[in-house]
Amino acid sequence: METMGWIIDPVYTTATFGPWHRTRFFARRCTIAFRLVLNAASVVSQKPGCSFYISRLIAGIASGRRQTREYAKMIRADLARLGRNLFTQDCLLCTGASAEPPICDSCIRNLPVLKEVCPVCALPSPREQVCGRCLAQPPHFSRTLAAWTYDFPLDRLVQAFKFHHRLELAPWFARSLARRLDLPSPLIIAMPLHRTRLAERGFNQALEIAKHVADFAGGKLLHSAVHKRRETLLQSELPLEARARNVRDAFHCTESFNGTAVVVVDDVMTTGATLNELARILKQAGAGRVTNLVVARTLPPGERRAPLRQGVR
């Protein structure tokens, strides 16, 4: 269904034709889309959930409404949903049949989530009290919200997303993270990548998640508020005591926050050194509370325990 986007692209239509002919051209493209939808529906008309999107597409095309960007966006979204109903996908973990999410319900229930963690660093803490580490050496961030622990099988999903370009996981991760936010219209910043690392990977995994978090949470994503001004060594290749020194002064903030709370989105939090350094820079720029919003939290070797298996969507 993604290949049908050119049929209803308002930018292409506007650039090719003037305002007078735009509506008629758009109607012809909608007719093509309408016929394709009907052909697909005639083959799989028994699929659950398809009739609603087909009927809405027919009603929208037949109404003859004036073309707008919002209307074209709505039709593209309907076509995408219709495609997900027409064509099943395999679960990324067990390869079994999955519905709209990239992970099936059975595998979701087996994802490792944390219970009773420190509200500041998200490490295990009895009765969810602030842990001794955060009391002795308070970090620059105020709290950390983590969806899961970085354990099997969640680690396979993060690696598939990060290193194998499985970008369909970004909205799925983001939906789980957005449910944990309790801030109205939050300011959201993605953990920045240095331009060299960005060129190697092709995308910033934190930014891909943050885009969808902003949509789900009704927040504002600040794309260029912070950038990484120097390349650092991979944190995963350094001993724990060297990680804070590795990222010292690696970030530069161009925004002034004037006491506003900020949410920082990242994929995995290991020692928290990178997130703590970014929070320090944000505080210098006037940020109030800094909340870390991460997909997975790595537990230190001495504190690893059997995590609670209670997957969330």
Structure confidence by residue, pLDDT tens digits, 116-156: 899 999 999 998 999 999 999 999 999 999 999 999 999 99
Helix, strand or coil, per DSSP, at residue 173: helix
Check pLDDT > 60 for residue 49. Answer: no
What's the pTM value of the predicted model, to 2 decimals? 0.70
Residue, of 113 and 32, whose pLDDT is higher: 113
Confidence bin at 76 (pLDDT 50/70/90): low
pLDDT value of position 102:
87
Q: How many other C-beta atoms lie within 10 A of the C-beta of residue 162?
A: 18
pLDDT value of position 241:
72
Nearest to 177 by CA among 306, 300, 296: 296
- 8 Å CB contact between 160 and 169: yes
pLDDT value of position 2:
42
Chain CA centroid to CA 190, Å: 10
Check pLDDT > 50 for residue 7. Answer: no
The answer for residues whose C-beta is within 8 angstroms of residue 91's C-beta and 6 or more apart is 97, 98, 102, 103, 104, 107
- 8 Å CB contact between 72 and 11: no
Confidence bin at 89 (pLDDT 50/70/90): confident
Nearest to 150 by CA among 206, 112, 207, 108: 112
Sign, Cα dihedral of 284, 290, 295, 297: positive
Structure tokens at 254: 């161009």
Sign, Cα dihedral of 126, 127, 132, 133: positive
> Of the CATH numbers 3.30.70, 1.10.10, 3.30.1050, 3.40.50, which one belongs to the domain with range 105-309?
3.40.50
Distance CA 93, CA 238 (A): 30
Distance CA 217, CA 174 (A): 9
pLDDT value of position 303:
62
Q: How many other C-beta atoms lie within 10 A of the C-beta of residue 60?
A: 16
**Out of 55-69, 186-200, 280-294, 296-310, least confident range:** 55-69
Q: How many other C-beta atoms lie within 10 A of the C-beta of residue 102?
A: 22
pLDDT value of position 230:
83
pLDDT value of position 32:
59
pLDDT value of position 184:
84
- Name residue, tokens 């394709």: 36
CA gyration radius, the chain: 23
Domain parsing of the chain, residue ranges? 2-87, 105-309
Distance CA 69, CA 48 (A): 29
Distance CA 61, CA 65 (A): 8
Among residues of the chain, what percentage have pLDDT more than 70? 66
pLDDT value of position 271:
87
Structure tokens at 257: 């926050």
Q: How many other C-beta atoms lie within 10 A of the C-beta of residue 200?
A: 9
Among residues of the chain, what percentage have pLDDT more than 90? 34
Check pLDDT > 60 for residue 21. Answer: no
**DSSP symbol at 129:** P
Confidence bin at 3 (pLDDT 50/70/90): very low
Nearest to 291 by CA among 194, 186, 192, 212: 186
